[in-house]
Amino acid sequence: MQIGFIGVGKITNAIVEGLCTSSIENTQIWLSPRNEANAQRLAEKYAQVRRLESNQQVIDQSDLVFIAVRPAAAVEVLRSLAFREEQTVISLVPLLKKAELLNTVAPATQVARAVPTPTVMQHTGPILLFQANDTVTQLFSHLGQPVQVADEHQLHALWTLTGLITPFYDLLHELSSWTIDNGVNATTANQYIAGLFQALCLAAQQDSTINFKELAQHAETPNGMNEQAGREIREKAAHQAYRIASDNLLKRFE
């Protein structure tokens, strides 16, 4: 499989690392010249990765092409390139809808949109896919758990949630800082916090229905710590900040 990447930023780096350390076989990966440091490092690290001198060279060498450029530059970059009809194009660009993608990569007609997260480097995490064919779905199965989405509005709503990664880590940082202020060693605090929240998410995943409200209520006992903390945080409407931020992020797709 000849796989090309136009754009070599953080998410491309994660995908390439994930592919090269997965069980997938017989792949050649071609990288565009932008972000030379990233591309060169990957090419030096993995025998199946090579950095080319232009975006067009990547297109010419590849059967499957990932588009991972900044939204503001995506259309201009793609219109400068000549695609082939038989190629499959996978867009990782948040604001580039399928109709415009098809228009800019013609005569290629087999296109998909995908939302991997940096955890694909560790071959884990959900990967949103919109209109991905079997080849694309199988490829992503080596990187995490493909989740097929029925339409672009649902794709955008779920894609919005990836904008909450920073607030999530901010929360963990606040809890870490508080724990350290209360005399706990930083390494111990951070290991416990990361492990605690990972375990809570794992427990939710193993629930057949994944009802977060029920899980929250199940954790509460009368006059217990979870009951107290849940009540105090809800009374301050702290969770509303996440809804407001999500509403504002979703507007960017519109």
pLDDT digits 0-9 by tens, 106-160: 999 999 999 999 999 999 999 999 999 999 999 999 999 999 999 999 999 999 9
pLDDT on residue 250: 97
pLDDT on residue 207: 84
Rounded-to-integer distance, Cα 114 and Cα 37, Å = 25
pLDDT on residue 104: 96
Determine if residue 52 is left, alpha or beta; phi over 0 gives left, psi from -120 to 50 gives alpha, anything else beta.
beta
pLDDT on residue 208: 82
Order across the sheet with 2-6: list the strands.
49-51, 28-31, 2-6, 64-67, 88-91, 110-115, 126-130, 145-148
Q: What is the mean pLDDT of residues 201-224?
A: 93
Question: Which among 53, 62, 247, 231 is positioned nearest to 157, based on CA atoms?
Answer: 247
Determine what percent of the chain falls in helix, strand and coil, rounding each to the nearest 5. Answer: 55, 15, 30
Query: Exposed/middle/buried for 28, CB within 10 Å: 0-12, 13-18, 19+?
Result: middle
Q: What is the mean pLDDT of residues 182-207?
A: 96
pLDDT on residue 254: 83
Rounded-to-integer distance, Cα 13 and Cα 215, Å = 36
pLDDT on residue 34: 83
**Any bridge partners for residue 51, and if so which?**
31
pLDDT on residue 50: 97
| Percentage, residues of the chain above pLDDT 90 | 97
Rounded-to-integer distance, Cα 217 and Cα 227, Å = 8
Rounded-to-integer distance, Cα 61 and Cα 64, Å = 9
Q: Centre a 10 Å sphere on the Cβ of residue 86 and count the other Cβ atoms it contains.
A: 10
Query: Exposed/middle/buried for 100, CB within 10 Å: 0-12, 13-18, 19+?
Result: middle
| Percentage, residues of the chain above pLDDT 70 | 100
Radius of gyration of the chain (CA): 21
How far is residue 216 from each of residues 174, 196, 231, 242, measured CA to CA in Å? Answer: 21, 15, 11, 17
pTM of the model: 0.91
Query: Mean pLDDT score of the chain, rounded to an integer?
Result: 96
8 A C-beta contact, residue 131 and residue 112: yes
How far is residue 90 from each of residues 109, 131, 132, 140, 212, measured CA to CA in Å? Answer: 11, 10, 8, 11, 32
8 A C-beta contact, residue 172 and residue 197: yes
Asked whether the predicted pLDDT for residue 53 surpasses 90, the reply is yes
Q: What is the mean pLDDT of residues 204-231?
A: 94
| Cα 237 off chain centre by | 28
pLDDT on residue 31: 97
